């Protein structure tokens, strides 16, 4: 990891750059696959599954028999762990339900707001180097709580044409209605346009690599909503002399092992801690099964010394991390001051991996600085707010003239007439 001391503000943008390709580098590939899936449907899906995943499937739809076999394959201890995590996620997301808002804005004018589920949602579950069955919980649990009618899950198959048993177990546990063995750009395209085997959905959820992220953004051009642009994982830790170096190093490596394009950053007011963390990273990384991946991510990562908390907080808010860990004596300063972060983890005993799996918060979060404007996935992500109004005769008499005057001033005579014709019958 590169160590940087007291960087000038003019250099912050360069220092904080993510190790990602620009959209222009991969947009042509995404457009090509979208066009082929739109025109050829399942044939294009099958061709790209063979090309990218190395397997030719007779059918890309998971059968009930495959699900039952998967359940038997998952050890009982892991099943219980998944169920416990699911319960915590349910508790946290169920608490996010809000009641109907009903007000009378003027005598006789009743307005209310209710939330209704998005009927058809698509969940993208990364497979690749690590099948993320935890993401099934993070997406399917709130979708089920919201009441979504169709919950379609897509995930890339392995070389044997199968999905991880843990993914299938979690999917059936959380009420997923259809499971498709397809990944990458072609999965997002299939959910966008629909094919003979893949239902078209109204909104697509889930993290993925840079290609999946661009594919999701392209889906919006065809009228399909997305949760957020969520690409390679990232973590920023702020720590001082109160922090334990071994803990910080383990947190940095927990994100670095996600992928070679992940990024982790330590910001600290202690040069001694930075030195200790650097040593711990070198020590711990050698013990990781995914050492090669972690080393590539660490090469893109940084240890930044900042002389005071105020400057450190300013730099962190400019970065807008996906995950933000606070391990400082004055943690309230950062808790109260952070404006841009996907999810915040506070104290020496709150590892980021708790949020990834079982504490209850959602781990599908905005990356690449999008936390400045986007929220992470939550219950509302699967709901739409609909407004209603009912106006009585008295109500129309109370606001009718207001509407007439405003409509006339905007030059919209038919708008005015829609009120005037009714007022004539009431006066």
Catalytic residue numbers?
322-323
Helix (H, G, I), strand (E, B) or coil at 336: helix
**Contacts of 195 by beta carbon, 8 Å cutoff, 6+ apart:** 37, 41, 42, 45
Q: What angle do CA 377, 382, 385 make, to 5 degrees?
A: 115
Cβ 367 vs Cβ 234: under 8 Å: yes
Would you say 179 and 98 are in contact if contact means Cβ atoms under 8 Å apart?
no
- Binding site members for substrate: 233, 255, 258, 323, 356, 410, 415
Query: Shortest CA distance to 140 belongs to which of 111, 97, 175, 102?
Result: 175
* Euclidean distance between CA atoms 45 and 183, whole angstroms: 9
CA distance 205 to 125: 9
Q: Is the dihedral of CA 140, 173, 83, 149 positive or negative?
A: positive
Distances (CA, A) of 124 to 136, 182, 313, 348: 9, 9, 34, 32
Are 317 and 340 in contact, with CB atoms under 8 Å apart? yes
User: Measured between alpha carbons, how far apart are the two ends of the chain, in Å?
Assistant: 78
Query: Rounded to an integer, what distance in angstroms lies between the CA atom of residue 292 and that of residue 322?
Result: 23
Phi/psi of residue 271, each to 5°? -65, -35
Q: Is the dihedral of CA 132, 135, 141, 143 positive or negative?
A: negative
User: Can you tell me the distance from the alpha carbon of 298 to that of 283, in angstroms, rounded to the nearest whole number?
Assistant: 13
What are the binding residues?
Answer: 124, 186, 209, 233, 255, 258, 323, 356, 410, 415
Q: Which residues are annotated as a binding site for NAD(+)?
A: 124, 186, 209
234 SS3 class: strand
Q: Is 252 exposed, middle or buried (0-12, 13-18, 19+ CB in 10 A)?
A: buried
Q: Give ∠ CA 344-267-321 in degrees, rounded to 5.
A: 40
The total number of residues written for the chain in this structure: 427
Q: Could you tell me which residues are annotated as the binding site for Zn(2+)? A: 255, 258, 356, 415
């Amino acid at each position: 990891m590169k160590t940087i001391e007291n960087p000038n503000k003019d250099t912050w943008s360069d220092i904080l750059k993510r190790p990602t390709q620009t959209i222009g580098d991969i947009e042509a590939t995404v457009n090509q696959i979208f066009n082929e899936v739109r025109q050829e449907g399942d044939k294009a899906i099958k061709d790209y599954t063979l090309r990218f995943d190395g397997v030719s499937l007779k059918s890309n739809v998971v059968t009930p028999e495959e699900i039952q076999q998967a359940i038997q394959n998952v050890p009982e201890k892991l099943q219980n762990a998944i169920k416990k995590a699911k319960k915590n996620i349910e508790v946290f997301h169920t608490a996010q339900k809000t009641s109907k808002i009903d007000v009378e804005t003027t005598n006789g004018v009743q307005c209310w707001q209710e939330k209704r589920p998005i009927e058809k949602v698509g969940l993208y579950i990364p497979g690749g180097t690590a099948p993320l069955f935890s993401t099934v919980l993070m997406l399917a649990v709130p979708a089920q709580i919201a009441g979504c009618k169709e919950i379609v899950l897509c995930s890339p198959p392995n070389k044997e044409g199968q999905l991880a048993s843990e993914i299938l177990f979690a999917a059936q546990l959380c009420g997923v209605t259809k499971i498709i063995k397809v990944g990458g750009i072609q999965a997002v395209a299939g959910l966008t346009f629909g094919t003979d085997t893949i239902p078209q959905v109204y909104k697509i959820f889930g993290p993925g690599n840079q290609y999946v992220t661009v594919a999701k953004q392209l889906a919006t051009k065809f009228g399909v909503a997305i949760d957020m642009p969520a690409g390679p994982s990232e973590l920023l830790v702020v720590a001082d002399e109160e922090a334990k170096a071994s803990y910080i190093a383990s947190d940095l490596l927990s994100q670095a092992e996600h992928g070679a394009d992940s990024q982790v950053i330590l910001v600290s007011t202690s040069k001694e801690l930075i030195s200790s963390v650097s040593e711990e990273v070198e020590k711990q990384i050698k013990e990781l099964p995914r050492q090669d991946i972690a080393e590539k991510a660490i090469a893109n990562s940084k240890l930044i010394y900042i002389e005071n908390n105020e400057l450190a907080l300013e730099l962190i808010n400019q970065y807008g991390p996906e995950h933000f860990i606070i391990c400082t004596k004055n943690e309230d300063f950062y808790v109260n001051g952070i404006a841009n972060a996907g999810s915040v983890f506070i104290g020496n005993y709150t590892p980021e991996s708790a949020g990834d799996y079982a504490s209850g918060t959602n781990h599908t979060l905005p990356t690449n600085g999008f936390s400045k404007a986007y929220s992470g996935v939550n219950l509302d992500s699967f709901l739409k707010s609909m407004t209603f109004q009912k106006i009585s005769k008295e109500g129309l008499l109370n606001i009718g003239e207001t509407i007439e005057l405003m409509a006339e001033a905007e030059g919209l005579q038919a708008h005015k007439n829609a009120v005037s014709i009714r007022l004539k019958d009431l006066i």
